[in-house]
A and B are shown apart, each in its own frame.
Chain A
Amino acid sequence: MYEIVTKQEVASNIYLIQIAAKDVANKAKPGQFVILRLDEKGERIPLTIAGVDLKKGTVATAFHAVGKTTKKLAKMKAGDSLTDLSGPLGNPAEVGKFGRVLLVGGGVWCAPLYYVAQALREKGNELVIVAAGRTKDGLIFEKELKEVSDEFYVATDDGSKGYEGLGFLEDVLKAQKFDHAIAMGQVVLLQTVTELTKPYGLKTMVTLASLMVDGTGMCGACRVTVGGETKFTCMDGPEFDGHQVDFEELIKRQRVYLPEERMASMIYEKLGGGVKRG
């Protein structure tokens, strides 16, 4: 069992939890993920690591409560335990001494992006960071990201805070020279960022959240076409060169289980959305 040590709602329906898993914390690197299972009947869900506390032996991760499992997790409290936590899985994000780096995070992904940003900062990179969200209520980690950056922007889809959309990045990209870019977020955001950076030949790494079952290379549910070749997100990624990723295929694969996910979530809500504690 893996105890939830702390839990906080960091924005509307977005939560940050710290889970006790000493061996995982000791080994985790920015960009890697864990797979959780809440209980014996639970599904395995991948969540990107948003930091570790070596003293407490905890791993942090953020999630948006949108499906059955994440809604159920949102109902759990500090002191409750998860049945399973496996990790760290996947390869760490590439953290080199690049020079000037552009980082774009969307919604809940700003938490793991902050973990990567801290590592990049330690390597002596200059960071230009964009925190994006659907609305101002979906923004998290603004303060933290701002602190670690040299230049900081906020953007929302509806313009309720900061720039409206990511179009403003064109001017940023025109005005400055970047050596590396990283995007973490929903597939649409990743696609938008890679399209914006492409004309500048700016290498843009994206972290993919493909569907997964085991997360160790066994099932192949997370396969994605990168540079014309099939790759496994869990084994070869989750960070890939965004200009090589077949996003159209990825979007279709992400939607494969939407009807089932909606059904499970609906039934869960209908039944009162309980959670068994133990």
Chain B
Amino acid sequence: MDKEERKHGVPMAKQDVLERIHNFYEVALGYNEEQALAEAERCLQCPKPQCVKGCPVDIDIPAFIKEIKEGNFVAASAKLKEKNSLPAICGRVCPQENQCQKFCILGKIGDPISIGRLERFASDYERTKGVTVPPKEKSGVTGRVAVVGSGPAGLTAAADLAKLGYDVVMFESLHSAGGVLMYGIPEFRMPKKIVQAEVDYIQKLGVELKTNYTIGRIFTIDELFASGFGAIFVGSGAGLPRFMRIPGENLGGVYSANEFLIRVNLMKAYMFPKYDTPIRIGEKVAVIGGGNVAMDSARSALRLGAEEVYIVYRRSKEELPARAEEAENAEEEGINFRFLTNPVKFLGDESGWVKAIECIKMELGEPDASGRRRPVPIEGSEFIMDVDTAVIAIGQTPNPLIQRTTEGLETTRWGTIVVKEETGETTKRGVYAGGDVVSGAATVISAMGAGKRAARSIHEYLMNKKGA
């Protein structure tokens, strides 16, 4: 392979845009064997790989790519699973452009290696061939650990602890495990059968899953200790939707992104009335916010049959917090962006259904604490936008249930749990936490990294306790 050839990455096929806006099937189609081999071939196998520095879960990236290059696809997946129990998920939703791929040396002369696509390829390959489960290590460790929440952080912590030999019980408040992967990220970006396969894998590692258990209601943290758990990991996520606190917000047709996505993803409202949960979608839908959740909501609305879908965002395109790829997909599908625009109130009809949003134009002022330029309303620029559905996607905060019902668990004023970053230790002995409940809404992979660190510290804690 000459230098010129090496510069260009192998593109990944996507479902045609005119097709995909009418279905919920996955948009990105993944590599086939030939494409994966060609992409793996480009990898320089650096003696001092930089990519690894960008991986929150320390995957030996060159090693797994080498296996693909040599045609050992199952071995590649095994290599990934040494560090990452959820590769099919990470290969799809990790922001690789800001992590491993950002450091890839090839990125200096052309396209970096598509590490995420290769990760997805290897794990998808293994899943279709039948997943192998590593035998339980005879580590001699004993003890029970409770994991609260079965999203990315909980699944990772549970998998690592089970591999170490602990009896792990994972509690999930909803009827399906997977957390945000199940209820939040839509089918067209994260097929639910893949999440289910990863959850099945975690159970095969020996983790006992208890769905329909809302910790804080059915058991408190202290009751879990009393029932014999030696340590507890809390990965309860950021499940509480933020609202705008503007007039008319409680009108019919105004949804939190959480409600909208739970109905669509978890309850499969896009198949109503075959599935029992309904969702009402009008002709004109406005989604407020600029993150991945906003993109997911807008693209779901389109697939549900909306004629016009708008993203209403108070800053400009440059500040969009969504992954560039997601914003591009949305644009390609015909989502209209209204930048520098902010809702002031929702207007309803007599029956109490939303019919319009009064918005105001914004301009960017001085940088704020986040380093981004603060959006400032332009006086007198109010205008009316006719809509029949509005989705508020301006962020989520942690669910306060566990914090409210656990004595000695310190929280910040944003409701997140205080931990020592390196270990995930909370202020309550034996309780560890990680993921969105600590960081506020962030990425799948950072939650997994936190789950991993916490599993390691829980192991140390339990070994020391046993020794003492």
Interface residues of chain A, those whose CB is within 8 Å of chain B, are 23-24, 27, 37, 41-44, 68-69, 83-89, 213-214, 216-221, 223-225, 230, 235, 249, 252-253, 255-257, 260-261, 263-264, 267
Contacts and interface: CB of A to CB of B under 8 A. Distances in A.
A54 to B, nearest CB: 15
B278 A218 contact: no
Contact of B276 (A41, A219, A235): A41
Contacts of A86: 173-175, 212-214
Contacts, number: 123
27 contacts: A37-B175, A41-B268, A41-B274, A43-B275, A44-B175, A84-B212, A85-B212, A86-B174, A86-B214, A89-B217, A213-B259, A214-B183, A216-B173, A216-B214, A218-B258, A218-B259, A221-B255, A230-B243, A230-B245, A235-B401, A249-B250, A249-B352, A252-B352, A256-B252, A261-B278, A264-B273, A267-B273
Contacts of A214: 173-174, 183, 262
A43 B276 contact: yes
B282 interface: no
A223 B245 CA distance: 12
Given A217-B240, A235-B401, A84 B175 contact: yes
Contact of A213 (B243, B253, B267, B353): B267
A42 B276 contact: yes
A264 B234 CA distance: 39
Nearest to A69: B276
A256 B259 CA distance: 14
Contacts of B280: 256-257, 260
Q: How large is the interface on B (under 10, 10 to 19, 20 to 34, 35 or more residues)?
A: 35 or more
Contacts of A225: 250
B406 interface: no
Contacts of B277: 43-44, 213
A214 B277 CA distance: 12
B256 interface: yes
B242 to A, nearest CB: 10
Given A23-B218, A260-B273, 18 more contacts: A41-B268, A43-B267, A43-B275, A43-B277, A44-B267, A85-B212, A86-B174, A86-B214, A87-B212, A88-B218, A213-B259, A216-B214, A220-B258, A221-B255, A230-B250, A235-B401, A256-B252, A267-B273
Shortest Cβ-Cβ A-B pairs, 10 listed: A252-B352, A260-B278, A219-B259, A43-B276, A86-B212, A220-B256, A256-B252, A84-B175, A43-B277, A218-B239
Nearest to A27: B218
Interface in B211-249: 211-214, 217-219, 239-241, 243, 245, 249
B383 interface: no
B263 interface: yes
Contacts of B240: 217-218
A217 B401 contact: yes
Contacts of B399: 216-218
B351 interface: yes
